[in-house]
Chain A
Amino acid sequence: MLVSFEHVSLRYPCGRTVLNDINLALMPGLFYFLTGASGAGKSSLLRLIYQMEKPTEGRVTLFDRDTSQLYRHEYPALRRRLGIVFQDFRLVPHLSALENAALPLRLAGAERLDVEQHVTELLNWVGLGDRLHALPSELSGGEQQRVSIARAIVNKPRLLLADEPTGNVDDEASKKLMHLFLELNKMGTTVIFATHQKDLVQQYAKPVLRLKNGRLVSSMDEAA
């Protein structure tokens, strides 16, 4: 089991309960949509997976590890198997598009030149070939989003957590990025794709996790 939630609830400090008794089990190699209205808790659920938040109740298992039992020094190795597209991009403001996208490879200790070549190709692919050395502040929202996508997939993660990855791009680019995610999925990466774009979900026959009022009301075969 790649990710499993057992009776997981999440309540932010001095806030209401955002996720309520969530149970799920994600199989490796699949492509999941995570949907729900704005504020339904999609980002919160992803945060529980990448360990930004801890469940108030219940148990989250990641790569067969009970995350409540993890020691601090075990997080890095676990997180390096994840790719995360943050809803708010989270690019390092003083690093160029190239440097931002290259961070995971640099962290993994890859040679600088190899990294540059590889990342340049990837950025070319997402249509940023001529913006390699631009700072995030010089990029449009959609361009920043594509840098953040490149960064998330650059080291072929086992699990990709994409939070509204196509929220800021036009239909054309959106299709192209979808294609990218599906290709990645074919090569073995499990994808969780959070979005509130219903039409996008309907276009692809993939299992859907739907959040409503803090609960999971998914029918895995909804889109099928």
Chain B
Amino acid sequence: MGMPSNLFNTAFKQQRLGLMFSIILVILVYLGTLAMAAQAVLARTALTWGYDLQSRVTIEIPFVDDEDATQKQDKRERLLQLLRAMPQVDTVEPIDEAKTQGLLSQWIDDASLLQALPLPQLIDVTFKVGATLAPAELQRTLASHNRDLRVYGHADWMDKLLGFLTGLGVIATLMLFLTGFAVVTVISAICRAALAVQHDTIELLHFMGAPDHAIARQFQKHIQRLAFPAALIGFALAALTVAILVFLLSSLGGLSLIAPLSWVTLGSVTALIPLGAIGLSIITARQSLLRLLRRLG
């Protein structure tokens, strides 16, 4: 059933309803896309970190004054063997003394002083999936071998950080829902306003035998024409914002904090927002118009 495509122009122009709708949708898609991007990155980061910190401990062999290099090495080798024999342990990796010194060299210029520093030996241990040992437990187990060993987990402070991340994730999800709710509310309001402006036209269409669904479809097309560019602009702005954030973060060197999430994944996850906004707009426009028309009698 055809109708002139400009049938509802008056409503959208006269009250600037079209412009208002477009601007609001741009903003909502922008916020929604950012929230979605944040949500995706946070979820991924929390997952990676959560796994990492549970399955990884660092063992410290304290520095002993009168030990020479071979003794030191013996001690380490025996511990390594012991660790590798444990069924829960996945990888065992001694951290190079040179690497530890390298880290410190940023603060200490004097090479001879660096050499003389009483540095502990460090060993990174990761556990097999599902076979994690708590740091205290591992320290107790190893105590029979060497009472001075210290086992550090990363869990304590990471737990707090993770809680924070989860909180942020919840907020982002909430924002998504609020955005969707706002889209529905705005469109319902616009439908009501448009219908009020064009009450006469709609009554006329009824008298000429236009069924409700045809009138609603025409209206829906109008919303659709407005929603596509608005959603695109909102999404583009959000992408630009993310790009700027990434640039700033990487120039601060903080990018490695964020778990690697490929651009493709991030892009396709966040693209759900403009698509969803368009879909939601169309469905809402159609449904609220049908409801209003039925009430019109």
Contact = CB atoms under 8 A, between A and B. Distances in A.
Contacts of B212: 72
A103 B209 contact: no
A73 B211 contact: yes
A103 B208 CA distance: 8
B16 to A, nearest CB: 15
Interface stretch (A10-18, A92-100, A162-170, A188-196): A92-100
A99 B209 contact: no
Interface in A38-76: 50, 52, 72-73, 75-76
Contacts of A82: 207, 209
For chain A, the bracket of interface size reads: 20 to 34
A99 B209 CA distance: 17
B201 interface: yes
B209 A109 contact: no
Interface stretch (B4-12, B30-38, B141-149, B231-239): B4-12
A109 B1 contact: yes
B99 interface: no
B130 interface: no
A122 interface: no
Given A90-B200, A90-B204, A106 B3 contact: yes
Nearest to B211: A76
A29 interface: no
B160 interface: no
Given A106-B4, A112-B2, A92 B201 contact: yes
B57 to A, nearest CB: 71
B20 to A, nearest CB: 19
A84 B205 CA distance: 12
Contacts of B9: 94
Interface in B249-297: 294
Most chain B CB within 10 A, of A78, A82, A106, A109, is at A106
A95 B218 CA distance: 15
Contacts of B4: 95, 99, 102-103, 106
Given A90-B200, A106-B3, A106-B4, A72 B294 contact: yes
Nearest to B9: A94
B145 to A, nearest CB: 84
A113 to B, nearest CB: 12
A109 B214 CA distance: 11
B206 interface: yes
A72 B290 CA distance: 12
A107 B6 contact: no
B3 to A, nearest CB: 6
A43 to B, nearest CB: 13
Contacts of B207: 50, 52, 79, 82, 84
Given A72-B294, A90-B200, A109-B1, A95 B6 contact: yes
A191 B33 CA distance: 60
B210 interface: yes
B2 to A, nearest CB: 4
A76 B204 contact: no
B209 A77 contact: yes
Interface in A80-139: 80-82, 84, 90, 92-95, 99, 102-104, 106-110, 112
Contacts of A107: 1-3, 205, 208-210, 214
Contacts of A50: 207
Interface string B191-225: 00000000011001111111110100000000000
Contacts of A72: 212, 294
Contacts of A106: 2-4
Contacts of A109: 1-2
Contacts of B1: 107-109
Interface in B36-55: none
B6 A94 contact: yes
Most chain B CB within 10 A, of A90, A102, A103, A110, is at A103
Interface of B: 1-4, 6-7, 9-10, 200-201, 204-212, 214, 294
Given A80-B208, A107-B205, A108-B1, 4 more contacts: A76-B211, A90-B204, A103-B4, A107-B3
